[in-house]
Amino acid sequence: MCNSDKKTKYEVADIFRLYGDEYIKKRPLPAHYLKVIHDIKVCRSDYLGGHIYKCDFCGYKTALYNSCRNRHCPKCQFTARLKWVEKRKSEILPVGYFHNVFTLPHELNPLALCNKTICLNLLFKAVGETLSEFGSRELEGQPGFITILHSWTQTLLDHFHIHCVIPAGVLSNNKDRWNFCSENFLFAVKALSKMFRGKYIDFLKKAYLNGEFILPGRIEYLSNKNSFNIFVNELWNKQWVVYAKKSFANPEKVLEYLSRYTHRVAIANHRIISAQNGKVTFKYKDRASARLSNRKNDNIDKEMTLTAEEFIRRFLLHVLPEKFMKIRYYGFLGNRNRKENVRLCRELMGCGQVTVHDLPEGIPELILQSTGVDITICPQCGEGQMQIDSKILSYPEKMEYDDTS
């Protein structure tokens, strides 16, 4: 039996173990940031405990340690992603799907970094209302779509944007038919951009007037109403980016896309090349250079080296507020009536319902059902099954045991 993630030479955890304590001494951090650092450091280590597994055929033994399950940890997203995608299988409709991306102008980044909950909630609200109004106006019905927040560039800088996955059609307002639309065109992106900009700025102004923002340091000047009005006018004069990607070929491609995007963190471990001598080197895709060189379907692979302190700073830019939902559902896919609405949509299309299987309780069973890979097969002999032989106590359990002994 083996871990589901490929082992890499360097990991984000190594960077936090080597340089995290020094970083914390220099910069005061909120408690949930400290928890992210701690969880990533101890993930899949003896600190969290685990089990010894033994092959029932050849006797081979190996230790498997528990995961931290922190949503910012690069090693803990694999099974979370599998579970989420399995739940979505029954909700994918037999139509084309579109992929739109709504991006906040970078001028808003300083305000958003100091007021993540407010600014990002407003982002979701503006995107949700924009697509819902276009669906009602252009297609005479209620669209249903999934929105996924990302906050980073390939070089870990702040870049707040929402990916939207949208079926090609809407549920009519009185819910008596499915209104199909072209699978080659959904909504005009320039019109989307203007409405998105107008809604977000309107929400921003209302939040400002209600005194909802904190304005420290370099954005303190916004506490002056005249300065804030100038700032808003600058935002109005910008062209806000709404990008429409090519529609998905079939429902299976939608799930393939979702499995890549939903549970991403700022950087995956396989991109880290080295972490030594106070510096971190990692790979990134230079999409801007690819566009300039007309390599439209390609990215230019490059390497970047940062000080460990700067790498940690950039990584922590993308820590979400506690209990903040980064994946949200709108329209007929809204949480309240999603199951019933999907059933109705399929019925109106004249297609059968999708059989829903219960999720397996164990991780090996889940991975086998989702990928067809049996991770319980002994890696040594390839014939036996790895079975739990004994438990490895976590550090808190060891302390409790020592206190009672």
Model pLDDT for residues 178-197, shown as the tens digit of each residue: 999 987 889 999 999 999 99
Backbone conformation region of residue 118, classed left if phi is above 0, alpha if psi is from -120 to 50, else beta: alpha
Considering the domain boundaries, does residue 311 fall inside one?
A: no
Considering the domain boundaries, does residue 140 fall inside one?
A: yes
Q: What value does the mean pLDDT take over residues 294-298?
A: 54
Average per-residue pLDDT for the chain? 90
Query: Is 158 found in the same domain as 63?
Result: no
What is the length of the chain? 405
329 strand-pairing partners: 146
How many whole angstroms separate alpha carbon 259 and alpha carbon 371?
12
Considering the domain boundaries, does residue 21 fall inside one?
A: yes
| Selection from 344, 365, 295 nearest residue 141 by Cα | 344
Query: Is 242 found in the same domain as 120?
Result: yes
Considering the domain boundaries, does residue 298 fall inside one?
A: no
Contact 312, 23 (CB under 8 A): yes
What whole-number percentage of the chain has pLDDT above 90? 74
Return all residues near 330 (Cβ < 8 A) that are at least 6 apart.
128, 131, 132, 143, 144, 145, 147
How many whole angstroms separate alpha carbon 152 and alpha carbon 265?
9
Quote the pLDDT of residue 353: 73
Query: Is 188 found in the same domain as 130?
Result: yes
Query: Is 226 found in the same domain as 249?
Result: yes
Considering the domain boundaries, does residue 307 fall inside one?
A: no
In the listed set 326, 349, 372, which residue is the last one of a domain according to the structure? Answer: 349
Query: Is 334 found in the same domain as 202?
Result: yes
Quote the pLDDT of residue 23: 98
- DSSP label at 318? T
**Sequential DSSP letters for 164-221:** EEEESEEEETTSS-EEE--SS--S-HHHHHHHHHHHHHHHHHHHHHTT-----GGGGG
Query: Is 206 found in the same domain as 177?
Result: yes
pLDDT at 229 over 70: yes
Six token digits for residue 193: 């951009």
In the listed set 307, 325, 349, which residue is the last one of a domain according to the structure? Answer: 349
Considering the domain boundaries, does residue 309 fall inside one?
A: no
Query: Is 369 found in the same domain as 242?
Result: no
DSSP SS3 for 233:
helix
Query: Is 213 found in the same domain as 64?
Result: no
How many whole angstroms separate alpha carbon 368 and alpha carbon 86?
12
How many whole angstroms separate alpha carbon 130 and alpha carbon 126?
6
- DSSP label at 358? P
Contact 139, 267 (CB under 8 A): no
In the listed set 325, 349, 373, which residue is the last one of a domain according to the structure? Answer: 349
Q: What value does the mean pLDDT take over residues 236-259?
A: 82
Confidence category of residue 2, pLDDT binned at 50, 70, 90: very low
What predicted TM-score, i.e. pTM, was given to this entire model?
Answer: 0.91
Considering the domain boundaries, does residue 27 fall inside one?
A: yes
Considering the domain boundaries, does residue 66 fall inside one?
A: yes
Neighbours of 121 (CB within 10 A): 17
- 135-166 per-position pLDDT tens digit: 999 999 999 999 999 999 999 999 999 999 99
Structural domain count of the chain: 2
Contact 243, 80 (CB under 8 A): no
Query: Is 214 found in the same domain as 178?
Result: yes
How many whole angstroms separate alpha carbon 79 and alpha carbon 73?
12
Query: Is 395 found in the same domain as 343?
Result: no
Q: Which domain holds residue 59?
A: 12-73+361-404
Query: Is 209 found in the same domain as 63?
Result: no
Query: Is 366 found in the same domain as 344?
Result: no
- DSSP label at 161? E
Q: Which helix (H) or strand (E) is 400 found in, with range? A: helix 395-404
The phi and psi torsions of 255 (rounded to 5 degrees) equal -65, -35
